[in-house]
Structure 1
Amino acid sequence: MQNKTFVAVAVGLGLISLSACGSGDTKPSADSKTVTLVSHDSWRISKSVLKDFERRTGYKVRNLQDGDAGQAVNKAILTKDNPQGDVFFGVDNTLLSRALDNGLFQPYTAKGLDKVGSQYQLDQAKHRVTPIDYGDICVNYDKAYFSKHKLTPPQSFADLAKPQYKNLLVTENAATSSPGLGFLLGSAAQFGDGGTSRPSEAGSGGGWQDYWKKLKANGVKVVDGWEQAYYQEFSGSSEGKKAGGDRPLVVSYASSPPAEVIYAKKRPSTAPTGVATGTCFRQIEFAGLLSNAKNPKGAKAFIDFLVSKEFQEDMPLNMYVYPVVQGAKVPAEFTEYGPAAEHPETMAPGKIAANRDQWVKSWTSLVLK
């Protein structure tokens, strides 16, 4: 789930060579030992897990990281007839329809898919993609700021438009950022489109457009991407404090508070940031076997591995997302400092497909001009 992992800054991800395994101990043939994984920049896995995969299968996995999720998906679509790799990881539900409509993937039913929660399987009819993880895009708040000013942190989309939170929120551009787009979709799910569904006090019957007019009037700041928002503008992150960030509200992830604890030089007893649980939009991330893949056998084995319990339990503290496999353990830091939202906003991929491009265009005209 691009742009939410703190390890991207903490350890500096780049183009790396990996080893991976499939569902059994059968060695691949001599001419098919390389599997190329195409991903966004937040892909990461523990070396010890990779070594285990290598021992069991002999597959070598080359990882090509192609920027953020949107960039990676668009590039994969443009090169689908002669793909860069065999497996694509990182398309989420906000972009899924674009990938499927453009024939990016070929069907494959992964071994172990029966252990994946049905709520994450958004392509059950054709199995062109396999769910791998999920996470919640939510507004985070700086606890110290709200304590100092004796102000109750916002807890809902509607709260963010109230006068007491004027000039406090920074969000990402919905046209250039995955969390920015997710936040826009969350507001559309909450308030509807032009009053067609679920109008509320902030929407006043005018849907998400009216809501964003109110946010703009209330001083929302928009920046290009998550790193700028979180590491430079947000006063609650350790990097934001150093950079002089003065916005105590930021669009980030429910898993951001645990990362603040884990990466602190001296681990605090409580997270310095909190989550406005009524502002969350759920993202689900998928992997798929690329059409025209040169090594489909290795690609299938790798997808099997992605839904194995071994990878699912290794994933949270590497990519700060939650496992989709039933019974996979979640780190204690997640349950203590950043539990997933109980009632996040969601939207069917078909509805996203029908509206996404026009909504982003309207949002850009409304908020940035």
Structure 2
Amino acid sequence: MFSHIRSMAVIVAMGAIAVGCGGADSAAEPTTVTLLAHESFVLPDGTFEAFTAETGITVEVLQTGDAGTIVANAIATAGDPVGDVLFGVDNLLLQRALDANVFVAHEAAGLDDVPDRVKLDPQNRVTPIDSGYVCVNYRADALNGAAPPTSLNDLRQPQLASQFVTQNPENSTPGLAFLFATIASFGEDGWKDFWRDLRDNGVTITPGWNEAWNNAYVGGDPGGTKGIVNSYASSPVFEGLFGGDDPVVSEILIDSCFEQIEFAGVLAGTDAPQNAGKLIDYLLSPAVQSEIPLSMFVEPVNSTATIPEEFSTWTTPITSPLALTPTEIAENQARWTQEWLELFRE
């Protein structure tokens, strides 16, 4: 997730990260642990070297595709994995992975410093590592004189729907998250009526985030004419950090935000379960968690982590995000997506 933000800049963060990693005796296990991750996984240079210096465990990072790709591969190889730890399964995909017995339980050190709302598996088969939000962004001065939206429901208005661009939920993670946001907000009885109003009043649907933000939205590069876009809560952070001396920064429609939580888990069948667990402990440590905001443009889940001032300056607090449970998503995603497609064929 959030690959758009991470691909828009190279953040060079230097300095060693040190943390103590305890645990049971793992002398008989291999001392090289393979971390499977999506292509948007980024941590500063030296991060894993510091872990090796503390523990004697070497980390090899194997990155392949997006979150959907790595989860599909992990399900296909469940019990006989090609790695030891998987990072990047999110709450949109979590239940599928749990149902396929991809992970084994590991209660991470530092879990007491993580809020309960992001602990979605009571068996601790996965450990939350970061969170972010898919949110509607807008530029108030680019709405052709219309009043800016103050609620998700406002987007139904013709003058705002015609300015709104979002993504196809069948192809796009932020598009899917926005679909879930509308279901969480309007319920089973109301979400399709909301989308019919969007459709009838001129909403633009793109295949993915890049087409929406960079090509259609006024704030993109090269940019377009639309004043409202489905993107991320961290998009204004990027605009503020890299927009020059006087940046123009988008605003966030607070009640549109749907939380995405990324997890790491020890893969079932690994021959290094204890060392794999130590790596997860390290990813949850305050030192690593404090590097996450400016490396991956998402928020750490460890409450003792330090948020860099340059990140928090441009951040809009999201205190009550929309959410669906992993079970609700797993049981209904295919149906919801199909109903959305049929609605746009009417």
Distance 1:64 1:368 in 2: 40
Task: Report SS of the residue matched to 1:337.
Answer: coil
Contact map agreement 1:183 1:251 (CA 8 A) in 2? yes
Task: Report SS of the residue matched to 2:75.
Answer: helix
The alpha-carbon distance between structure 1 residues 27 and 296, as it changes in their structure 2 partners (threshold 3 A), is closer
Q: CA deviation at 1:96?
A: 1.0
Contact map agreement 1:22 1:303 (CA 8 A) in 2? no
Match 1:133 to one of 130, 135, 140: 130
1:233 partnered with 2:232 = no
1:218 corresponds to? 201
1:95 corresponds to? 93
Contact map agreement 1:22 1:302 (CA 8 A) in 2? no
Matches within 5 A, 1:61-80: 61-80=59-78
Contact map agreement 2:135 2:254 (CA 8 A) in 1? yes
2:230 corresponds to? 251
Q: CA deviation at 1:367?
A: 2.7
Q: CA deviation at 1:3?
A: 3.0
Which range moves more in the overlay, 170-179 or 105-114? 170-179
Distance 2:320 2:140 in 1: 22
Distance 1:223 1:364 in 2: 13
Q: CA deviation at 1:27?
A: 11
1:202 corresponds to? none
1:323-361, CA deviations, whole angstroms, 9 ceiling, x for partnerless residues? 111222222233332223122111222222221121112
Distance 2:269 2:327 in 1: 25
1:302 corresponds to? 279
1:188 corresponds to? 183
Distance 1:25 1:107 in 2: 14
Query: Counterpart of 1:247 in structure 2: which amino acid?
Result: K
1:209 corresponds to? 192
Distance 1:357 1:22 in 2: 43
Matches within 5 A, 1:1-369: 2-11=1-10, 23-24=21-22, 32-124=30-122, 126-146=123-143, 149-193=144-188, 195=189, 207-237=190-220, 239=221, 242=222, 244-264=223-243, 266-268=244-246, 271-367=248-344
Query: Counterpart of 2:232 in structure 1: which amino acid?
Result: Y
Task: Report SS of the residue matched to 1:88.
Answer: strand
Distance 2:87 2:60 in 1: 13
Query: Counterpart of 2:152 in structure 1: which amino acid?
Result: F
1:67-109, CA deviations, whole angstroms, 9 ceiling, x for partnerless residues? 2222221122112232221111111111111111111111111
Query: Counterpart of 1:175 in structure 2: which amino acid?
Result: E
Q: CA deviation at 1:224?
A: 2.2
The alpha-carbon distance between structure 1 residues 348 and 30, as it changes in their structure 2 partners (threshold 3 A), is closer
The alpha-carbon distance between structure 1 residues 174 and 20, as it changes in their structure 2 partners (threshold 3 A), is farther
Contact map agreement 1:37 1:64 (CA 8 A) in 2? yes
Question: TM-score when scaled to structure 1?
Answer: 0.85
Task: Report SS of the residue matched to 1:103.
Answer: coil
Contact map agreement 2:18 2:287 (CA 8 A) in 1? no
Task: Report SS of the residue matched to 1:252.
Answer: strand
Task: Report SS of the residue matched to 2:10.
Answer: helix
1:245-288, CA deviations, whole angstroms, 9 ceiling, x for partnerless residues? 22221111111101112123x243x5421111121111111111
Q: CA deviation at 1:144?
A: 4.1
Task: Report SS of the residue matched to 2:197.
Answer: helix
Percent identity, aligned pairs only?
Answer: 40
The alpha-carbon distance between structure 1 residues 22 and 128, as it changes in their structure 2 partners (threshold 3 A), is farther
The alpha-carbon distance between structure 1 residues 64 and 49, as it changes in their structure 2 partners (threshold 3 A), is closer
Query: Counterpart of 1:135 in structure 2: which amino acid?
Result: G
Question: TM-score when scaled to structure 2?
Answer: 0.91
Distance 1:185 1:160 in 2: 16
- Consecutive unaligned residues of structure 2, counting only runs of 5 or more, are 12-16
Count of residue pairs the alignment pairs up: 342
Contact map agreement 1:28 1:59 (CA 8 A) in 2? no
2:14 corresponds to? none
Contact map agreement 1:25 1:56 (CA 8 A) in 2? no
Distance 2:298 2:114 in 1: 15
Q: CA deviation at 1:24?
A: 4.0
Contact map agreement 2:146 2:160 (CA 8 A) in 1? no
Contact map agreement 2:140 2:147 (CA 8 A) in 1? no
Query: Counterpart of 2:93 in structure 1: which amino acid?
Result: L
Distance 2:79 2:18 in 1: 25
Q: CA RMSD in A?
A: 2.5
Contact map agreement 1:172 1:226 (CA 8 A) in 2? yes
Distance 1:92 1:174 in 2: 16
Distance 1:355 1:340 in 2: 29
Task: Report SS of the residue matched to 2:174.
Answer: helix
Query: Counterpart of 2:148 in structure 1: which amino acid?
Result: P
Q: CA deviation at 1:225?
A: 2.0
Task: Report SS of the residue matched to 1:298.
Answer: helix
